[in-house]
Structure 1
Amino acid sequence: MTIRFSKDHEYVRVEGDTAVVGITDYAQQQLGDVVYVELPSVGKRVSQGDETAVVESVKAASEVYAPVSGEVVAVNSGLEDTPGTVNEDPHGQGWFVKIKLANAAELDSLMSEAEYQDYLKSIS
């Protein structure tokens, strides 16, 4: 399973031709308790870097950007009722959207887990 990370603290877990997108554990820690998640419509086309979702916490609202281009094929509607799942299991049940990859080569522009850990050290 391939997992890649963006400098905006989104992760991409590649499953076949689909990218499962969410925010990293670091991002949810920075946000604090998530109280609301706004998700896009299934069928929406996104380009790498586009705002895809919004996550609100007790501290702030933050955009979630598409780390890859493609079509939204699923959204985690469970987050509407239980947004705290983002805090509890950001890399598992707390995913936001699934995007059918339009260009798998875009994954090469994202960081590996080791590169992301180094990036976190450089910003803290």
Structure 2
Amino acid sequence: MNFPAELRYTKDHEWISLEGNVATVGITDFAQRELGDIVYVDIDSVGKSLEAEAVFGTVEAVKTVSDLFLPVAGKILEVNPVLNDQPELVNTDPYGQGWMVKLEVANVADVAALMSAEDYSASVS
């Protein structure tokens, strides 16, 4: 499985990348494999300020529906519009075109406290 070293990870299988105080969030390669074929992404939290680990949406696979948890506190700025028509991008490109949301991070230091790729890989193996 692929866990890019430049990203940080959560126990709930989300990844986060940070640029300034804006973060991009998605689900990991491990998570998309566990879920199977993703058929719908439902995120209606744009403009909302949420705490870390708050549910910001759901992802629906053929077999199940799973909540999406925010890695750090912040305000949701944008949802990936491509996922409306192509939710399968979460399966085929989870760290690229399959990203879920962009958020303004409340405290940038919180990102560094999340798991490294090495730690996350150990937690799922």
TM-score w.r.t. the length of structure 2 is 0.92
Contact 1:2 1:14 in 2 (8 A): no
- 2:71 is equivalent to residue 61 of structure 1: no
Report SS of the residue matched to 1:41: coil
Equivalent in the alignment of 2:18: 14
Corresponding residue of 2:53: 49
Q: Name the residue aligned to 1:119.
A: 123
Matched, 1:79 2:66: no
Offset from partner CA, 1:57-111 (integer Å, 9 cap, x none):
0010000100011111111011011100100100000000001010112113310
- The percentage of aligned residue pairs carrying the same residue is 45
Moved over 6 A (4+): none
Provide the TM-score with structure 1 as the length reference: 0.93
Looking at structure 1, the residues matched to 123 and 29 of structure 2 have their Cα atoms a distance apart, in angstroms, of 14
Give the match's secondary structure for 1:56.
strand
CA contact (8 A) 2:41 2:60 kept: yes
Structure with the largest fraction of helix:
1
> What are structure 2's unaligned runs of at least 5 residues?
none
